[in-house]
Amino acid sequence: MTSALDLVHVTKTYDEAVAVRDVSVSIAKGEFFSFLGPSGCGKTTILRMISGFIAPTRGEIRLDGKDLAGVGPHKRATALIFQNLALFPLMSVADNIAYGLRVRGATAVAQRRKADELLDLIALPGYGDKRIDELSGGQKQRVAIARALAVQPAVLLLDEPLSSLDLKLRQHMRAELRSLQKRTRVTFVYITHDQGEALAMSDRVAVMSNGRIEQIGTSTEIYDHPATPFVATFVGENNVFEGRVSAHENGMAVLDSGFGPLRARNPEGIGAGMPALLFIRPERFRVAGRVPAGAANVIEALVADSVFEGVALNVLLRRNDAPPLRVSMSNDGEMAIPVPGAALRVAFAPEDAVILRKGSTA
Amino acid sequence: MSSGQRFGMLGLLYVTLTCAIWMLLLIVAPAAMMMDFAFRPFLPPTEWGSAADVYTLRNFAMALGDEFNRAIFLKTVWASVVTTAIAFVVCYPISYILARAGRSSWVGIAMIALLVPFWINEVLRSFAWQLLLAHDGFFNQVLVGLRLVAEPVDFFGRNVGVLIGLVYTYILFMIFPMYSAMESLDQNQIEAARDLGAPWWRIHWDVVIPHAKSGLASGCIVTFMLAAGSYAVPQMLGGTRSLWFTQLIYNQFEAINWNMGAAYAMCLVVLCVAFILIMMSLFRVRLRDIAR
């Protein structure tokens, strides 16, 4: 089965600055694929190259197996949804949606029919004759999507579409976009810096930093099995321990750190004596009474601060001069809130932590 | 904060009075006097206020009733329309490219290049064109030298010289309203139209022109009015046989017949107002859009 979109060793340089470095990705038909990364990581450049507004310096972009080199944005089977939506303010909602069809010479009747069909799909029936400035932010968002879907693109490209919406609306739109994608079965390529969005909506995520892809995987893979220190720290919260590997076998290893020897997974097979980083997420700690007898990776430290955030209780632990440890306890009503200054005993299972080669973090 | 609060009552009064006096003395009063002259017959000063001094349409009848005058009037209208059309076609791409180029360094240079000639007097610039378009002027030398024409072209005879002069002289008045209207257009809209499959002409027709139409309309209006009322350019580039409406007006005033002169002038004013109304309905803009 040919994939919908292939990026093959795509590189983009501007004079000396490298915006995109040797990116290769295969996106399947009907997939919801996200590029996740901080500002300046190259994800916007990739999107503009896919849509045809910029040409890659090296490499190929293939749509359904066909190389898109030299094909302008108006001739590609992609549709782009801009960050600021770029709806046409002087046209009605229906005219906006049907614009792609008008440009292709469709009759007024066919245009109207398609517009009404899509207005139903985005749950705005009867809004055809309204003007753009009469719509709310979320409604404009949906009209922009309808306008792009009207030309029946093979791939829909979304440029951080939810970044200008408020929190509640963003959460609502996340679910809407996901369900829309499932219903229309159009391949979505989504770029964002918000990891919650990427993890919640996507089938697969590509985490990017400085023009390079750090890791491609499902949301679970990215979160539970980060491949690089950048992914481990950019996605979610993570504690980082620095140290040297002292022993390793069977895919596990021991790291000598400021908090003593810690055992964790060693997927990269880092040898003894090598410097490395150990990552363990705040929510994977067992606290005080919940630490099983004979557990590995037990740490005793003093509570520096404890912050109640509703869903979770975030505790900062300190020991000597080592960097603080972040522990997140879920607010299940059964644990006493740790008091600052008190000693606390925490532990984590070796399978929940990972040792990776030293590299740049987020 | 209202003007009254900001400047105090005294300040507000000062500003209002000075504007009102300026408007009345320098704009309304002269125009009213002109209208008065236009409707009265040409009489020696001793007969002013006498029985013969009544309001009449005689001046207008003579102005437009005469076939010769009518021909000149229509020629002026026609030339102004053609000038506006040529200026529109020439300035649209220039304005668009400048507007889209954003803050590039060459945009500043291009702006200065457009602006600098205007520091020189209109008459001198018309004179320069006279030299360039002359029988043995620069253009003819090039055309004959490259053997593109057998004989030197008479640019002045068929009003070509005047049209070139009019378009050139008032080009800035077309470019700047267009440029500023186009500059405010969001680049993303152009890209969105392109992404949806629109060819370039559609992008202009559907996105750029509707957005910029108030700028386009005001550019056309100003260019037309200036072309219709232009005196120096037709005088210098019009050739010996050609007479223009503004020259007729001048001749009348020179002959001390202010009444006829004023009547001619009023015809021109009415023409310009009619053109403004036509342009506004053509582009579907309202007065306040242009005033911006």
- The interface pTM score, or ipTM, of the predicted complex is 0.83
CB of B248 within 8 A of CB of B69? yes
Q: Do B192 and A82 count as a contact with CB atoms less than 8 A apart?
A: yes
Per-residue pLDDT tens digits for A18-29: 999 999 999 999
Q: Do A90 and B210 count as a contact with CB atoms less than 8 A apart?
A: yes
- Could you tell me the end-to-end alpha-carbon distance of chain B, in angstroms, rounded to an integer? 21
Is residue B23 in some structural domain? Answer: no
CA A99 to chain B, closest CA, distance in angstroms equals: 7
* CB-closest option in B188, B202, B211 to A82: B188
- Domain harbouring B217, CATH code: 1.10.3720.10
Q: Which residues does chain B have within 8 Å of residue A151's beta carbon, measured at their own beta carbons?
A: 196-197
Summarize the confidence of residues A195-215 as an average pLDDT: 94
Interfacial A residues in 16-55 facing B (CB < 8 Å): 51-53
Residue B46 CA to its chain's centroid (Å)? 39
What pLDDT is stored for residue B3 in this prediction?
Answer: 59
Is residue B219 in some structural domain? Answer: yes
Is residue B31 in some structural domain? Answer: no
Interatomic CA distance for residues B269 and B275, integer angstroms: 10
CA B190 to chain A, closest CA, distance in angstroms equals: 9
Q: Do B189 and A88 count as a contact with CB atoms less than 8 A apart?
A: yes
Q: Do B198 and A74 count as a contact with CB atoms less than 8 A apart?
A: yes
Per-residue pLDDT tens digits for A93-109: 999 999 999 999 989 99
Burial of B148 (0-12, 13-18, 19+ CB in 10 A): exposed
Q: Do A53 and B191 count as a contact with CB atoms less than 8 A apart?
A: yes
Q: Mapping DSSP to helix (H, G, I), strand (E, B) and coil, where does residue B212 land?
A: helix
What pLDDT is stored for residue B39 in this prediction?
Answer: 83
Interatomic CA distance for residues A134 and A127, integer angstroms: 10
The one-character DSSP state at A208 is E
Per-residue pLDDT tens digits for A239-250: 999 999 988 888
Nearest chain A alpha carbon to B203: A103
What pLDDT is stored for residue B241 in this prediction?
Answer: 72
Q: Domains (ranges, CATH) in chain A?
A: 5-229 (3.40.50.300), 232-357 (2.40.50.100)
* CB-closest option in B188, B210, B211 to A86: B188
**Sheet arrangement for strand A17-27:** A17-27, A5-14, A58-63, A66-67
CB of B132 within 8 A of CB of B138? yes
Q: Do A88 and B191 count as a contact with CB atoms less than 8 A apart?
A: no
Across the A/B interface, how many CB contacts are shorter than 8 Å? 58
Residue with tokens 């644990």: A335
Q: Which residues of B192-229 are buried (b: 16+ CB within 10 A; e: fewer)?
A: bbbbbbbeeebbbebbbebbbbbbbbbbbbbbbbbbbb
Q: Which residues does chain B have within 8 Å of residue A91's beta carbon, measured at their own beta carbons?
A: 206
Q: Which residues does chain A have within 8 Å of residue B191's beta carbon, measured at their own beta carbons?
A: 53, 73, 80, 82, 86
CB atoms under 10 Å from CB of B41, counted, come to 14
Nearest chain B alpha carbon to A147: B196
As a whole number, the mean pLDDT across chain A is 90
Structure tokens at A233: 């720290």
At B222, which helix (H) or strand (E)? helix B209-228
Structure tokens at B168: 């050139």
CB of B208 within 8 A of CB of B191? no
Q: Do A74 and B210 count as a contact with CB atoms less than 8 A apart?
A: no
Q: Which residues contact A253 (CB under 8 A, 6 or more apart)?
A: A245, A247, A263, A264, A265, A266, A270, A276, A355
Q: What is the sign, positive or negative, of the torsion defined by CA atoms of A333, A338, A344, A348?
A: positive
Does the beta carbon of A336 lie under 8 angstroms from any beta carbon of chain B? Answer: no
Q: Which residues does chain A have within 8 Å of residue B188's beta carbon, measured at their own beta carbons?
A: 82, 84, 86
Q: Domain count of chain B?
A: 1
What pLDDT is stored for residue B291 in this prediction?
Answer: 63
Structure tokens at A108: 């007024």
Is residue B81 in some structural domain? Answer: yes
Burial of B81 (0-12, 13-18, 19+ CB in 10 A): middle
Residues of B with CB under 8 A from a CB of A: 186, 188-189, 191-199, 202, 206-207, 210-211
Structure tokens at B265: 């002038």
Residue B264 CA to its chain's centroid (Å)? 18
Is residue B182 in some structural domain? Answer: yes
CA A296 to chain B, closest CA, distance in angstroms equals: 56
Residue with tokens 């009605």: A92
The one-character DSSP state at A92 is B
Range of the domain at B76: 59-291
Is residue B240 in some structural domain? Answer: yes
CA A159 to chain B, closest CA, distance in angstroms equals: 12
Is residue B1 in some structural domain? Answer: no
Percentage above 70 pLDDT, chain A: 99
Does the beta carbon of A105 lie under 8 angstroms from any beta carbon of chain B? Answer: no
Per-run averaged pLDDT (10 residues), chain B, 292 residues: 70 90 90 85 74 75 80 87 94 91 83 88 88 86 84 79 89 91 92 94 93 90 90 83 83 82 85 85 74 60
Q: Do A84 and B206 count as a contact with CB atoms less than 8 A apart?
A: no
What pLDDT is stored for residue B289 in this prediction?
Answer: 67
Structure tokens at B134: 């002359």
What pLDDT is stored for residue B288 in this prediction?
Answer: 67
Optimal mutation site among B187, B188, B194, B196, interface A, most CBs of chain A within 10 A:
B196
Interatomic CA distance for residues B188 and A82, integer angstroms: 7
Q: Which residues does chain A have within 8 Å of residue B186's beta carbon, measured at their own beta carbons?
A: 84, 86
Residue with tokens 């001793």: B46
- Could you tell me the end-to-end alpha-carbon distance of chain A, in angstroms, rounded to an integer? 36
Residue A329, pLDDT above cutoff 80: yes
What pLDDT is stored for residue A102 in this prediction?
Answer: 93
Per-residue pLDDT tens digits for A177-198: 999 999 999 999 999 999 899 9
Does the beta carbon of A74 lie under 8 angstroms from any beta carbon of chain B? Answer: yes
Q: Mapping DSSP to helix (H, G, I), strand (E, B) and coil, where does residue A205 land?
A: strand
Q: Which of A262, A226, A228, A230 is nearest to A245 (CA)?
A: A262
What pLDDT is stored for residue A207 in this prediction?
Answer: 96
Nearest chain A alpha carbon to B189: A86
Q: Do A99 and B206 count as a contact with CB atoms less than 8 A apart?
A: yes
What pLDDT is stored for residue A214 in this prediction?
Answer: 94
Interatomic CA distance for residues A84 and A107, integer angstroms: 29
Q: Do A82 and B211 count as a contact with CB atoms less than 8 A apart?
A: no
What pLDDT is stored for residue B135 in this prediction?
Answer: 84
Q: Do A90 and B199 count as a contact with CB atoms less than 8 A apart?
A: no
Structure tokens at B180: 């500023």
Residue A115, pLDDT above cutoff 80: yes
Compute, in degrees rounded to 10, the torsion defined by CA atoms B87, B93, B99, B102. -140
